[in-house]
Amino acid sequence: NQDILTGPAYGGDGGDLFNDMDTIGAAGFTAPKSINIKKAAWMDSIQITYQTYGKNIREAPIRGELGGEYCRFDLDLDERIVNVTGASDKFVDALQFITNKGRISPYCGGNSGIRFTESHPGYIMSFISGRSYHYLDQIQFHWIREEVKYIMTSLNYDLNQVKQIQKEKPTFVFSTTLINRSPIEQKISYTHTVTTVESETWTMKNELTYGVTVSISCDIPRLVDWSVQLSTTYTRGFEYGQTKTTETTRDHTLEARVPANSQLTATLLALDGEIEVPYTTNLVIVYADGTEISKSDQTGTFTGVQLVKMTAEYGPAIPI
């Protein structure tokens, strides 16, 4: 759910009440995708098509009637309205919009009325309400915060408070038969290319929005002989709530001394471990309008599923 900031009402008291949120029925994030206005000396009507998370498109009804000159403003999928200017008196006389990309819509309406400007740092325009009948009598803007990026810096792990080290049973990787058809014992080997998958997840106790891009540069806790150590610092980019997986491909060789005229089965097994390590970090939240706020000493948990080691098992030699 979104915290909604509601601005003042501009215009008069005529017409019937409307609220676009009631008709489009959206929950959570909602922002204009296109704005269609009919204008003359004042605004005859406004109709907004909205987008929601998941890129769903929802059209609100026309507020007012369809006389006057057509005025339209289309926004990109990642473009948001961060400032509204206009004029109003007994009706809404004019509107103009500015986006987070610096684009400015046409000035839609007439030259009468009392000028106004509305913006709220850290917020974007979400939807409108107001009053309308033959004209757009009144309009009110509702604003939400849209977080577009998280930057995590100065991340410190508490290695004394590792929550869990889960030792799992070895998992099968591959097996092969090592065959010696000679009359003397020989060393037989087989090399196979193996792909292993590891995963890592960062979560925060502070409520963050799933799907927002996260930028992080830090050490990564790793299991080394079942103890947790920090690896070399590197940079990660991912979406919050996402489990990031990494595939590693390497060659593994199974080798054994096989008796004369015999064969044996060789099997490669992988042993994985799971760790949960608490951390603190400085968090910068970047909003759609470019506003940033910093929060220090935010707590969270790193969860990693990692390869600890490969082991080989060899069966008994069988004459052939």
Is residue 199 within 8 A of residue 274, CB to CB? The reply is: no
Question: In the chain, pLDDT over 70 holds for what percent of residues?
Answer: 97
Q: What pLDDT is recorded for position 319? A: 96
pLDDT band at 5 (very low <50, low <70, confident <90, very high): very high
Is residue 280 within 8 A of residue 299, CB to CB? The reply is: yes
In DSSP terms, 101 is beta-bridged to: none
Tens digits of per-residue pLDDT, 143-158?
Answer: 999 999 999 999 999 9
The mean pLDDT of 158-179, rounded to a whole number, is 87
Q: What pLDDT is recorded for position 167? A: 67
pLDDT band at 267 (very low <50, low <70, confident <90, very high): very high
Residue 84 has pLDDT above 90, yes or no: yes
The mean pLDDT of 147-173, rounded to a whole number, is 88
The mean pLDDT of 247-269, rounded to a whole number, is 96
Structure token digits, residue 11: 């215009």
Task: Read off φ and ψ for residue 159, nearest 5 degrees.
Answer: -75, -10
Residue 278 to residues 2, 245, 317: CA-CA distances in angstroms?
28, 20, 49
Per-residue burial over 163-200, b if 16 or more Cβ lie within 10 Å, else e, is eeeeeeebeebebbebbbeeeeebebebeeeeebebeb
Q: What pLDDT is recorded for position 225? A: 78
Is residue 253 within 8 A of residue 268, CB to CB? The reply is: no
pLDDT band at 224 (very low <50, low <70, confident <90, very high): confident
CATH number of 149-313: 2.170.15.10
Tens digits of per-residue pLDDT, 27-79?
Answer: 568 899 999 999 988 899 999 999 987 668 899 999 999 888 999 999 999 99
**In the chain, domain spans:** 4-145, 149-313
Structure token digits, residue 22: 């009631």
- Compute the distance between CA of residue 250 and CA of residue 297 in angstroms, rounded to an integer: 39
pLDDT band at 202 (very low <50, low <70, confident <90, very high): very high
CATH number of 4-145: 2.100.10.30
Q: ∠ at Cα 279 (276, 281), nearest 5°?
A: 145
Is residue 13 within 8 A of residue 91, CB to CB? The reply is: no
pTM of the model: 0.75
Is residue 128 within 8 A of residue 46, CB to CB? The reply is: yes
The mean pLDDT of 77-95, rounded to a whole number, is 96
